[in-house]
Structure 1
């Protein structure tokens, strides 16, 4: 049983997109092609827990509270930027404030780490918007690929909600502006080392500069973290002076005291003074000095993991990843991660997922290059890349077991007890790490790892979007494949997968060029299966462009390249759709009936695609003006599809049945069914169908609006 709302195509083992194109309504005109608030969706709750030992910031909280409590006739949402130097506690302050204020925001709370330490690590607005739209209840098949459409949907979905958003570690105003919720009374807390003056201009943001903690509060934080009695004034002053009032340095110092029970305040201060002494090493700031003293206390295995983990800006380290990096077992790696978190050299931002403050990552990287050297450092990165490749291949194979794969990572995979949904969740959790893995493999010149990692991302990107990540990774994959002549079929594969990313973004001319390049590359190396995939995909682009005759020619050419029965059945289905688009109704019906027979004769039944063929046959009957036959065929399609748990297709069939309805009452019933399904999925078509349904109340005609042209199914 195929429970996924996407259509699997075994010519190339690919899966094509949803029947209703996200963000586009073909034949019904509505005010905005965006989904309404989903009736069954719960307000998102994405805020991480606040730091347990948060201290002070009462002045800044009072300023923020006063801003929110001041009567204001302007209903515009509020934006506050918390800014300050690295290690000043911006993230902790934002989460503390958010926890104090969350009850004011019943519409939900959002959170994203924008990773704005550098231009290279900063995430795109599109990447965050996909997460936010999913959290707001939009089903993956309806997530728009185009960033501007994502912004439009997000603004509409938040327009009537009073929401709280925390956008941490922003790089620029341009990165933040698309992510601001638009509901009256909403609040966005932004943290950044930069002032982000563009937010002041464009969104009326208020800027709050965070100063270092004063001596009394710094001593209080040290006491809370260390678990010791309040030190004397001189002792506290000496340590806090070394920490510069920076909460990050104070946390490392306080937790060092907690771990080393025999360490005195005086010795701590002397150790930090020694670490801060002039040397050839860059950076003698308080954070570096505190990190040096904490690092010196680590056992050799923990110290090694700390160093090696900082070699790349990994979004998260998990126990399996750390085990590969350090060459230890997973239980040992978990214990080492806990040890590093205990002295504040790592932060456990969610259960089992650890990350560096960027200042500490830079400190760890310097140590790795000095202690481990370039060769051992590169070997450690290679181990982690191979771990990510193996884990991603296993998950991808579990999500889409029927597709064909390239690369040795898929050979002899062990049995996977996870469900497809669990494997998908793993890929979503690890997406940022896997994207970083592709970038790292490319920078290290590891071309075979680069393209293989791209191959493992296929099911993740195809089913969940993240098109900007898809483009970025697969452009690197295309380059890497061109440098791997020993595996010639890879070049066509990477071009084809890049083509699907471009197609999803609606960049059809670029997609056509990518699929053409894929077909040429596969033809040169005699890879008929890959060539069939590329030619078929080119036909799907032309089908979407309305170039039906050229599309049919592509599908016939793909048929000549494959003997696989299932592939030929699917290609017959595509040809039938192209013929219907050309108005060749009789030939279209005959071809779709042939596709149905080919599907029925397959050695492994495919009831899902049998129902899809019936859907296309019913649509062709409607186009030919034969409502009676359309109603009969679509009733059978609905019965079969209901068993496949594919709500996207259920909604499409209900729309088509409304067009084939014999009475106004039947039409209203089918429109109601279709509208309800679309609304539950977050589809923009729900609003259009509700408008059509209201129109039926004032007329007795059975003329229904045209259903959308089926896309790649």
Structure 2
């Protein structure tokens, strides 16, 4: 921006510039090409229970954050590198306190700097961070400097908290430092990291032992009233425990396990143990005190439990389950379970998940030392060999059971859970030169990979595409480093499944990431297939130029390889793109017709009758443009009748050709019959898909056929509004006609049904055809068709208004910028009002409205248009969807959910006051299972969670919860969908025609969904939601309540009511 008049802004509207002198402003918002959507990571471990003290250190960290521009990183280090002082606990506690100040997420990694095996390399840490930031494994560079550059690029300009735990050196940390000051890095280490301080400007926070008072407070929190009864003895226990939090927790557990023993006696025992282990007290080094406490706990163990403790120290598998522990120790399951329980009660191991355990790294190091001191080499080798045998033999049995269709699901679950541990063992065998064990595990791991791939292929053939994708995802995530070539073959099957689901953009992203590695590995055939799938994805997504280019590349590659079978497939994809381009431009090049005719003949010669039929149908479409009905008829007669195996694409292409021929001949009735037959075939196809997410993914099928029917109606001077309503409802938003658990779709809404349900309201359904936009208004039981002029100005101003509202969203913009952008937004809103609503005013009056948008109007902030400010409006994907939603009844409890990392301003707990007795799920309680259970039968649900919209298939959109992602299609499990859902986080906005997560909620049966259609500032969102819920609690309907609260500031409260309102 300059100081000159006619100022010009360009960019993403993410950044705010300070205005000095403004005479005129032009704001141009560009879509920036990115390899994948930025995923907001939320990786902090759970907060530490019983945390006490450290107020000075927490305050110091707060001060460092407040002065973050002057500091790159804060390093937490124990004096003299003392272990167990609570560095991680402090870091995690503080990170949880401030995570709402990092809207772009938090990254966490345990660098294992003092692990007994080997620290995590910066390369591996960077790979993990890049995956957390939604970078596919195949797109992660092999060189460290390239990984660092990619990582810093992704974090540039974003405010992310990065926690690097247990670092061993500055060299391990430096590649993980972001390149911009917007992020904050918190490092914990036993080393002072002087090099990081001197060279990288880090500020060190020295963490000493707890004070005696703080130690006693911690003991009191863990032991209870006995500490208050014997405060002096408790202080002695603290001193004997070196005032180290980890040692204090071990001491406290022993005290709890002996409730009748006075603390004085425990103090004497600990003192005696210290005397007996005096040889470990090397000059009063605090590390020896820690070892003393561990030794004291260890020496109280029965010998079988002590032996298991030592063996766990030498196990390459750091998080074994009970069966693996039994193998390691050479015991049965019952004995292993009993011994692990003993160790867990002594705080010498901790639960990771049900039946799975791990050791803190300090305890692990202690166990390693004990195993070296007290065991023999033969015992150690024997134990690890038993572990290898256990994993190999169990995996072989599980693979056999999975191959047997009668096998139990538990075998597959075991394989998926234990593959990472088998990979660890494989690495251990390679590093320690155990070729026999490595070879055995290599074969088993290869079989696991092939099995997952095979299961994915089988699921796809059975039509269970979500299950197919799950298997493909698991195989790639586990084995891409071990077998990159094979995994890129899996990616091609993954892309096919995504294309089947209608997730074209995600399929294209996977393929784009795979191609560079395929080139590196010299896998030319797979590269050509990937280019073909890329072309198919682009074609279905409507990117015709890209489809043509990629298909042409694929043709050349297959011809060079001499693979004529696949070359023909690629040629067919190419001519489909060329025909689509010609149809869009109303052209019919003779050269293209000749090319298609030759391809059809080649397919027939090769016995590929289905593809020959498709080629002839493509030629027929071009002859329609040449107005040669006899030639079209001849080509259609040459196409064999469809068979049971004929694809839905081919069936609909045939119906489209027949309908276009009928239009060419002026036979509207026949055209309508062909469209109706095609839609019936599409209904049968969708019913066969079974799950709503597949129906949603199939939305693109038949879109062109439906558009043809609507265009025929609109070109007929005598067409009625009722006729247009009928065809619009038969062809648009078809996913909303299918309910989970119902085999038959709902019938499309009739005009009579709509008139009766609307009452005093008016429904306006928009549509476009041949560059023009139309509205059909349903009011008082009649339908009126109103032409609204050209589409281009409407789409242009809708996009400009959306950009203005995004630019206005941040809470703290300079007033002069707010005034300029708001003036622009109001002008654009007024223009849209004039174009879209003013011509309808004579029909709609001041009635409450139900709006059915088209194209970019799905994301329009309707409440910002002058004639709609303060006016109740409901937005629906179709009139049928609105009618269905309006018939649902809302009853049940109120549920308030706050997901991880949600800013404090949006915490759903703030909404408890208007809803006493509401079910509140936040923090660790906001799990996938917990939220699903609470939503089942809820009357009102408020979801304040981060999430991600999936543009190709709304039912694969997700929200982030404490234990992972909840994908929208999982809501189909609910027996009673929630009645009214409020989406309180900006990421779950109404994103496109599919309406994102909001649309998915309507698909599964919600009555009303309230959500934003563009970015919203935190303060505006919090205030809007608070006022909205107050009105809802008084019994105000959602549409009326939302109209009231958005009218206060229409430009910064861009919310809509989807569904019934």
| Cα separation, 2, equivalents of 1:342 and 1:279 | 27
Pick one of 439, 447, 457 that aligns with 2:427: 439
Q: Cα offset for 1:303?
A: 1.8
Contact 2:88 2:165 (C-alpha < 8 Å) held by counterparts: yes
Task: Verify: 1:507 aligned to 2:517, yes or no.
Answer: yes
Structure 2 equivalent of residue 292 of structure 1: 295
Residue 91 (1) aligns with residue 366 (2) = no
Q: Distance in 2 between matches of 1:299 and 1:346?
A: 15
Which structure 2 residues correspond to residues 271-282 of structure 1 after superposition, within 5 A? 271-278=273-280
Per-residue CA deviations over 1:587-622 (Å, capped at 9, x if unaligned) read: 766659966869xxxxxxxx999759969999xx9x
Any idea what the Cα deviations from partners look like across 1:678-703, whole Å, max 9, x if unmatched? 687689xxx9x989xxxxxxxxxxxx
Equivalent residues in 2 for 1:378-397, closer than 5 Å: 378-389=381-392
Q: Is the 8 A contact 1:318 1:352 kept in 2?
A: yes
> Structure 1: how far apart are the matches of 2:216 and 2:76?
23
Picking from 306, 324, 327, the partner of 2:327 is: 324
Cα distance in 2 for residues equivalent to 1:219 and 1:657: 70
Local SS of the residue matching 2:227: coil
Distance 1:103 1:542, change over 3 A: closer
Gap change, CA 1:145 and 1:474, over 3 Å in 2 = closer
Aligned to 1:252: 250
1:347 partnered with 2:377: no
Equivalent residues in 2 for 1:75-224, closer than 5 Å: 79-84=73-78, 85=81, 86-102=83-99, 110-117=107-114, 120-122=118-120, 124-129=124-129, 132-133=132-133, 143=136, 145-147=138-140, 164-171=161-168, 187-195=184-192, 205-224=202-221
C-alpha displacement of 1:60: 0.5
2:951 pairs, out of 659, 662, 676, with 676
Q: Where do 5+ consecutive residues of structure 1 fail to align? A: 1-28, 398-407, 476-494, 516-534, 558-571, 599-606, 622-627, 692-713
Shift of 1:294: 1.4
Q: In structure 2, what is the equivalent of residue 265 of structure 1? A: 267
Map 1:250-649; keep pairs closer than 5 Å. Answer: 250-261=248-259, 262=261, 264-278=266-280, 285-330=288-333, 332-349=335-352, 352-389=355-392, 415-417=407-409, 423=413, 430=418, 432-442=420-430, 443=432, 444-445=434-435, 446=437, 447-457=439-449, 459=452, 463-464=472-473, 470=479, 472-474=481-483, 496=486, 504=514, 506-512=516-522, 537=526, 540=529, 546=553, 548=555, 551=558, 574-580=566-572, 591=603, 640=685, 644=689
2:223/2:253 contact within 8 Å kept = yes
Q: CA deviation at 1:361?
A: 1.6
Partners of 2:64 and 2:353 lie apart in 1 by 31
CA 1:661–1:550 in structure 2 vs 1: closer, same or farther (change >3 Å)? Answer: same
CA shift at 1:116, angstroms?
3.8
Change (3 A) 1:394 1:617: farther
| Residue 155 (structure 1) shift | 7.2
CA distance in 1, matches of 2:608, 2:324: 46
CA distance in 1, matches of 2:397, 2:333: 18
Instruction: Give the superposition deviation at 1:63.
Output: 0.8
Structure (1 or 2) with the larger CA radius of gyration: 2
Q: 1:226-245 residue pairs with structure 2 within 5 A?
A: 226-227=223-224, 228-229=226-227, 239-245=237-243
2:166–2:188 Cα contact (<8 Å) kept: yes
Asked if structure 2 preserves the Cα contact closer than 8 Å seen for 1:81 and 1:207, the reply is yes
**SS state at 2:204 partner:** strand
For residues 98-146 of structure 1, give each alpha carbon's deviation from its aligned partner in whole angstroms, at most 9, with x where no partner exists: 344455556655544343435845161354236634xxxx6xxx84632
Compared CA separation, residues 466 and 181, structure 1 to 2 (3 A): farther
CA RMSD of aligned residues (A): 5.8
Does the CA contact (< 8 Å) of 2:71 and 2:202 recur in 1?
A: no
Question: What TM-score comes out, normalization by structure 1 length?
Answer: 0.60
1:32 maps to 33
Change (3 A) 1:34 1:196: farther
CA contact (8 A) 1:102 1:109 kept: yes
Distance 1:181 1:279 in 2: 42
Q: 1:152 to 1:315 in 2, by over 3 A?
A: farther
Asked whether the 8 Å contact 1:302–1:337 carries over to 2, the reply is: yes
- CA drift of 1:289 comes to 2.4
- Does the CA contact (< 8 Å) of 1:275 and 1:284 recur in 2? no
Per-residue CA deviation, residues 603-652 of structure 1 (Å, 9 max, x unaligned), is xxxx999759969999xx9xxxxxx9xx9999989985895569799879
Task: Quote the offset at 1:62 in angstroms.
Answer: 1.4
Structure 1 position 542, deviation (Å): 8.9
User: Structure 1 176/455 Cα, relative in aligned 2: closer, same or farther at 3 Å?
Assistant: farther
CA deviations over 1:235-257 (Å, ceiling 9, x no partner)? 56765555433322332233233
Q: Is the 8 A contact 2:529 2:554 kept in 1?
A: no
SS of equivalent to 2:62: helix
Deviation at 1:165, TM superposition (A): 5.0
Instruction: Measure, in 2, the Cα distance between the counterparts of 1:323 and 1:610.
Output: 55
Q: Label 1:609 to 1:211 Cα distance change in 2 as closer, same or farther (>3 A).
A: farther
| Distance across 1 between alignment mates of 2:645 and 2:318 | 39
Number of residue pairs matched by the alignment: 559
Is the Cα–Cα contact under 8 Å of residues 114 and 166 in structure 2 kept in the other structure? yes
- What secondary structure does 1:81 align onto? strand
Instruction: Determine if contact 1:308/1:377 at 8 Å carries over to the other structure.
Output: yes
Cα deviation for residue 436 of structure 1 reads 1.2
Higher strand fraction (1 or 2)? 2
C-alpha distance in 1 between matches for 2:167 and 2:415: 25
> What is the rounded CA distance, in whole Å, between the counterparts of 1:104 and 1:541 in structure 2?
42
Q: CA deviation at 1:296?
A: 1.4
Q: Secondary structure at the match of 2:952?
A: helix
For 2:339 and 2:645, the matched residues in 1 are separated by: 50
How far off its partner does 1:64 sit? 1.5
- Of 57, 61, 67, which aligns to 2:58? 61
In the alignment, the residues of structure 2 paired with residue 646 and residue 198 of structure 1 have an alpha-carbon distance, to the nearest angstrom, of: 57
Structure 2 unaligned segments of length 5 or more: list them.
1-29, 454-469, 492-510, 535-549, 576-594, 612-642, 658-663, 665-673, 712-767, 772-794, 796-853, 859-876, 878-948, 959-988, 994-1061
Give the whole-Å Cα distance in 2 for the aligned partners of 1:100 and 1:184.
Answer: 20
C-alpha change, 1:180 and 1:31, in structure 2 (3 Å) is: same
- 1:563 is matched with none
Task: Write out per-residue CA displacement over residues 7-50 of structure 1, whole angstroms, 9 at most, x where no aligned residue.
Answer: xxxxxxxxxxxxxxxxxxxxxx9523144568xxxx76544333
Task: State the distance in 1 between where 2:855 and 2:179 align.
Answer: 34
> Are the aligned partners of 2:682 and 2:701 in contact in 1 as well (CA < 8 Å)?
no
CA contact (8 A) 2:401 2:407 kept: no
2: CA distance between counterparts of 1:100 and 1:218?
A: 22
Q: Distance in 2 between matches of 1:680 and 1:179?
A: 35
